Amino acid sequence: MPLAAQAQIGGRAAFPFLSLPPSAQLAALGGMTASARSSDPTQFFANPALLHADMDHAAAVSYVSYVSDIKQSTAAYAFNTEKRGRFGLGLTYLSYGSLESYDAAGNSLGSFSVNEYALTAADSYTKGKFTFGLAAKLAVSGIAGNRAVGLAGDAGVLYKPHDDQDFTVGLVVKNAGYMLKPYTAAAREPLPLDVQLGTTIKPAHMPLRFTLTAHHLHQWRIQYLDPNARGTLNANNEEVKPSFNFGDNLARHFTAAAELPMGKSLSLRVGYNHLQARELRLDNVGGGAGFSFGAMIKISQFQLDYTYATLQAAGSSNYFTLSRSLDSFLKKKD
């Protein structure tokens, strides 16, 4: 199903919701990251190699309201088995609401629902300065009782050279897989494959933590040129259509974000996604598309993350993620 939050990069892909940020923190980082570690277990959706000790026995629930009746909910839990590695389990559910159905003559046939969901299981293993991670996803899309099913996988690695420095480099291959069951036999499509490389660093004596992520590294040309777009008139009064621009195409491969930690209980975040900014802007009006603004606050043992992400002048999204460590409950049972 298409979604307004998805930028067009040429070509079609099944289950595009797999590329949507499922949590407030990911949305605040420009919608993706391969390197930013935190205690929020939803981070393993971005890169399974981001599973680490601070997430052990942490659970999170996330909710985002897109335009109209489109809403997404996510749940995640991370735990450590000590002998078999660190695991993460997640469920993402996306509802497009209720839609009206009509026949060829325009007569109402009633309403039908459209929804999609994905079950994710991730595993990570740390060896020296490297953490390796794998994730498997079962994706299901439903339209009026019809189902399409896909199987996808993520594989990532995170490099952290120094334990006492906030510096990481991450690489992840996302959504590599196959559409097991299409809606129709002739409609099998590829999954939204993405290859990302990123780094997160907090320079010494600076209050800000920076994250830079390069995405769609497997596909150079991602600049979308609308064949129906109006061109400009040259000196001969001839229409000149938009053409490929090297600089703009290069910039579309990057997202950038900055975080300002204000103690252990409060952080402020801002992110920018140039691909989203260019694809979702209205004619001659950017409307702040591509920018996201977020905050994290900890109260007692709960952590609340919020992000306001601008889609375009016509709409925006509000992300909420609530997470908590379950260690105290588990210790009581012991």
Looking at the domain covering 22-102+113-225+244-333, what would its CATH class be? mainly beta
Instruction: Select the highest-mean-pLDDT range: 75-89, 128-142, 182-196.
Output: 128-142
Distance CA 48, CA 242 (A): 39
Question: What is the CB-side half-sphere exposure of residue 106 using CA atoms within 13 A?
Answer: 0
CB 40 within 8 A of CB 60: yes
pLDDT at 9: 58
Under DSSP, the state recorded for 15 is -
Which is more confident, 155 or 277? 155
Q: Where are the domains of the chain?
A: 22-102+113-225+244-333
CB 7 within 8 A of CB 82: no
Average pLDDT value for residue range 189-198: 95
Q: Tell me the pLDDT band of 8, cut-offs 50, 70 and 90.
A: very low
Better pLDDT: 331 or 89: 89
Cβ neighbours, 10 Å, residue 320: 15
**Cβ atoms 93, 140 nearer than 8 A:** no
Mean pLDDT over residues 10-21, rounded? 82
Instruction: Select from 116, 96, 114, 95 the least CA-distant residue to 15.
Output: 116
User: Is the Cβ–Cβ distance between 148 and 141 less than 8 Å?
Assistant: yes
Q: What is the mean pLDDT of the chain?
A: 88
Q: Which residues, in sequence order, are CB contacts of 280 under 8 Å at separation 6+?
A: 4, 5, 7, 289, 290, 311, 312
Q: How confident is the model at residue 314 (pLDDT cuts 50, 70, 90)?
A: low
The whole-model pTM stands at 0.88
